[in-house]
C-alpha cells in the first residue's frame, strides 16, 4: 500500500503546498494549529478539493486536476478519525457500526462482532454516544472506521478531545492498534511527544508548506529549520552568523560558540535545548552565569539565565529539583556542549 500526495490549495492567508509519499508506516504531520494540517487530510479524504495536483492510492488516482479526476469521498476508502469522532448522536454504538458495513446478513454480524471485540465495546452496544466516556467514544469511532474497511487511516489530533489523565491510556490502546495495522497511517498533531512516540517518519508543516521530512530521530537530533526546531520543543533559539568552519556567533546571546558540525555559510539560527547545559567551567563555550528568574515547574526547575553582565535575552535552563538544590548560584559557570548545538539554515 502506498499513498502519494502532491497538492496545492490557496487558503486565503497562505498557500497549502504539500508533497509526500508514504507506505505502510505511521507518517506524522507535525505543526502548529492553523498551519494546514487538517485541510491536508480533508483534501486527501475528498471533503475539500485542492486547486491543483495529484493524489494517488496504490494504482488508483483519487484526484488529478489535469485529468479532471476527483473521486467522491465514498469511493476513496480512506478512514478519517475526526477530532471529535463525529459519531452519529441518533444511533447507538451498534447502529453506528452497523450503518457503515457494506455487506448484509451473517457477514455483517461477523464484522460487527469482530469490531466490538477488538475495541472492547461489549456491553456498550446499546448506549448512545452521549452516554460514553471520551475513550469509549474514540474506540467506537475506530470500530466504525475499521468496519468500513479503509485502505488508509487518517487521525486528526486523536487525543485533543480527551482529558489529560485519559490521554495516556487511549494512546496505549492506539499504539497497540497501529502495531497490528498494516496500512498507511497519517497522523496529525501539534504535540511533539505524541508524534515521537507513535510515528516513524515526521513531516514538519509551517504556513502550509512541508518544511522537512525526516525519520523521527533525525528530526529531533538535527531539525535543520527554524519551524522544525521550534515544534520539536527547543526553547533557546538565537540568530547566528558563521565565523569560521567550526565557530559561530549567536547574536541574541552575545556568545561565540564552538561546534562539532561544519558551520554552513548561510547559517541563520542556532538552537540549544534547555536541559543540555552542563554545570562545569571548560575552555570552550563556557560562561559565567547571571540568574534572571527561577520558576518551579511540576518536576523540574526552569532557570532563566544569561552571560554575566551581558544584558541579553535570557536563555532557559531546565534541571531536576534535586540537582538545583546542590547548585550554588554564586560564581556559577555553565557550558554548552559542542555536539548538542542545532544549526539552522532557514
Partner 1 sequence: MTDWSPLIISLKTAFLSTFITFFFGVYAAFLVVKVKRFQGLMDTIFTLPMVLPPTVVGFFLLLMFGKQSFIGQILLSVGVNFVFSWEATVVSAVVVSFPLMYRTTRGAFEQLNPDLIYAARTLGISEFKIFWRVILPNTWYGIMAGLILSFTRALGEFGATIMTAGNIPGLTQTMSTAIYSAVQAGDNATAFFWVSIVCAISFAVIIMMNYWMNHQQQFAEFISKRKRGAQNVAVR
User: Which residues here bind partner 1, judged by CB under 8 A?
Assistant: 42, 45-47, 72-80, 82-84, 86, 88-90, 92, 99-100, 102, 126-128, 144-145, 148, 150
Question: Minimum distance between the CB of residue 329 and partner 1, rounded to whole angstroms?
Answer: 53
Considering the complex, state which of residue 4 and residue 128 has its C-beta at the smaller distance from partner 1: 128
Question: Minimum distance between the CB of residue 80 and partner 1, rounded to whole angstroms?
Answer: 4
Phi (first) and psi of residue 89, to 5 degrees: -65, -20
Considering the complex, state which of residue 72 and residue 309 has its C-beta at the smaller distance from partner 1: 72
Question: String of b and e for 124-136 (b: at least 16 CB within 10 Å)?
Answer: bbeeebeebebbb
Considering the complex, state which of residue 124 and residue 206 has its C-beta at the smaller distance from partner 1: 124
> Hey, which residues does 270 pair with through a beta bridge?
238, 343
Helix (H) or strand (E) holding 53: strand 52-57
**Grid coordinates 552542563 are at which residue?**
278
**Terminal Cα-to-Cα distance of the chain (whole angstroms):** 34
Considering the complex, state which of residue 74 and residue 298 has its C-beta at the smaller distance from partner 1: 74
Question: Minimum distance between the CB of residue 108 and partner 1, rounded to whole angstroms?
Answer: 14
201-206/209-215 β-pairing: antiparallel
CB 170 within 8 A of CB 159: yes
**Grid coordinates 448522536 are at which residue?**
89
Question: Minimum distance between the CB of residue 199 and partner 1, rounded to whole angstroms?
Answer: 21
Considering the complex, state which of residue 71 and residue 304 has its C-beta at the smaller distance from partner 1: 71
Phi (first) and psi of residue 253, to 5 degrees: -105, -10
CB 240 within 8 A of CB 258: no
Question: Minimum distance between the CB of residue 130 and partner 1, rounded to whole angstroms?
Answer: 9
Other CB atoms closer than 10 Å to residue 2's CB: what's the count?
13
Question: Minimum distance between the CB of residue 86 and partner 1, rounded to whole angstroms?
Answer: 4
Considering the complex, state which of residue 184 and residue 223 has its C-beta at the smaller distance from partner 1: 184
Amino acid at each position: 500500500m502506498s499513498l502519494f500526495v502532491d497538492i496545492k490549495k490557496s487558503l486565503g492567508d497562505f498557500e497549502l503546498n504539500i508533497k509526500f509519499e508514504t507506505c505502510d508506516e505511521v507518517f506524522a504531520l507535525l505543526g502548529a494549529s492553523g498551519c494546514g494540517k487538517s485541510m491536508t487530510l480533508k483534501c486527501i479524504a475528498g471533503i475539500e478539493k485542492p486547486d491543483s495536483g495529484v493524489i494517488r492510492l496504490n494504482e488508483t488516482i483519487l484526484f488529478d486536476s489535469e485529468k479532471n479526476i476527483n473521486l467522491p469521498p465514498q469511493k476513496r476508502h480512506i478512514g478519517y478519525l475526526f477530532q471529535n469522532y463525529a459519531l452519529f448522536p441518533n444511533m447507538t454504538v451498534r447502529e453506528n457500526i452497523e450503518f457503515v458495513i457494506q455487506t448484509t446478513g451473517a457477514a455483517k454480524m461477523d464484522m460487527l462482532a469482530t469490531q466490538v471485540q477488538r475495541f472492547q465495546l461489549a456491553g456498550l452496544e446499546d448506549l448512545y454516544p452521549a452516554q460514553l466516556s471520551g475513550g469509549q467514544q474514540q474506540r467506537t469511532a475506530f470500530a466504525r472506521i475499521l468496519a468500513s474497511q479503509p485502505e488508509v487511516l487518517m487521525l486528526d489530533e486523536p487525543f485533543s478531545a480527551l482529558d489529560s489523565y485519559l490521554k495516556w491510556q487511549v494512546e496505549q490502546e492506539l499504539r497497540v492498534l497501529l502495531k497490528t495495522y498494516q496500512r498507511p497511517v497519517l497522523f496529525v498533531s501539534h504535540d511533539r511527544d505524541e508524534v515521537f512516540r507513535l510515528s516513524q517518519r515526521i513531516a514538519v508543516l509551517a504556513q502550509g508548506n512541508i518544511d522537512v521530512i525526516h525519520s523521527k530521530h533525525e528530526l529531533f537530533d538535527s531539525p535543520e529549520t527554524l519551524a522544525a526546531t521550534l515544534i520539536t520543543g527547543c526553547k533557546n533559539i538565537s540568530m547566528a552568523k558563521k565565523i569560521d568552519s567550526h565557530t559561530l556567533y549567536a547574536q541574541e546571546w552575545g556568545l561565540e560558540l564552538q561546534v562539532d558540525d561544519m558551520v554552513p555559510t548561510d547559517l541563520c539560527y542556532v538552537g540549544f535545548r534547555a536541559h543540555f547545559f552542563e554545570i562545569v567551567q571548560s575552555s570552550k563555550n563556557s560562561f559565567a552565569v547571571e540568574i534572571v528568574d527561577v520558576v518551579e515547574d511540576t518536576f523540574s526547575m526552569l532557570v532563566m539565565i544569561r552571560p554575566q553582565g551581558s544584558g541579553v535575552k535570557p536563555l532557559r535552563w531546565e534541571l531536576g529539583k534535586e540537582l538545583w538544590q546542590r547548585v550554588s548560584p554564586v560564581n556559577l559557570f555553565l557550558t554548552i556542549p559542542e555536539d548538542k548545538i542545532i544549526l539552522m539554515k532557514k
